[in-house]
Structure 1
Amino acid sequence: MGRATGPEPLDGRPLGLRLVQKASSTRLFAKAAPRVIPALDRAVHRLTGGRVLLSARMLPGVILTSTGARSGLPRRTPLACVPQEDGGWLLIGSNFGRPAHPAWTRNLLAHPDATVAWRGRDIPVTARLLTGADRTAAWREALALWPPYAVYQSRVEREIRLFRLTPRAPEAAAEAREP
């Protein structure tokens, strides 16, 4: 017999994580989160010199700096991501299950060259909108990391956009893979 460590995970996920995922699937969360979470993430990220993202306590995260589709100005957006073994990232344009695509997805479609802040480093990347089999495989990966994405998709008529970010320089990919 193993020692008791609290409530046994029903599906391999700790109770606390399951509760956060359930809360993040609510419509109230979808209303409040887009205003609160990015503002907190940007502030903490700035105060810690790029070393900490609060939301990364639950999900891996980056700060995406893209070029505004209309303004041409730099736009910094904290985002959950799915790190890839090759040093790239998947970004999920869920917008917390709200009807419109998030602005950062329009920015990447207009200007695919961007930068991500990852583990205290700024890494130049190129974004590619995923379609077909690439999107299907990436969607499965995203759902494995954060099942509430399925709830977000069920609330909206649009297909949630998924992007693959690839470091532009080989040395940047190697740095991204380092722990």
Structure 2
Amino acid sequence: MATDSAAWICAALLAFLPLSTARAAPLAPGQPAPDFALRDQHGQVQRLADQRGHWVVLYFYPKDDTPGCTREACRFRDDLHALLALGAVVLGVSLDDSDSHARFAAKHQLPFPLLADPGGNTARAYASLWSLGPIKFAKRRSFLIDPAGRLARIYRKVAPDRHSQEIIADLRALQQGHAPRP
């Protein structure tokens, strides 16, 4: 009986909290990628504009050092040589702060920038912010940005264990003038 009461109270409270995906203008391939300036795990400001001339893998993830986020980051680490050979840089983004990113990167030897977006403004610009009242997380989404700064591919459903390989295949197809699979 107490469990039923607790469940009812939780459900009632959730009904009053705004559950939302923070809205931004819809993004589509071919559009300019929203610019940003965020601090990485070393305290250095990273700007999308500074990456012109390179392919950019911009991936959003919910939380440092959680199982899915760790698998995804480690796969990017393990496949970084292939991504670099294709002229791509990898940038990870979450709402965690730079200190959390520094611990996460050191623990898993992540050699690419992890960007702190504590206010969620960049995640919101990329339609990748999820909120439940005061609780906010970045959604697991990725964006492949071309050397001119345009969105080339948007990944709204990401499987952490194979996502880096999916991006490598799409990068190869795009660079050979083929459209990547839908």
TM-score, length-scaled by structure 1:
0.27
Higher relative contact order (CA 8 A, sep 6+): 2
Q: Pick the structure with greater CA Rg.
A: 2
Given the two structures, how large is their TM-score scaled by the length of structure 2? 0.27
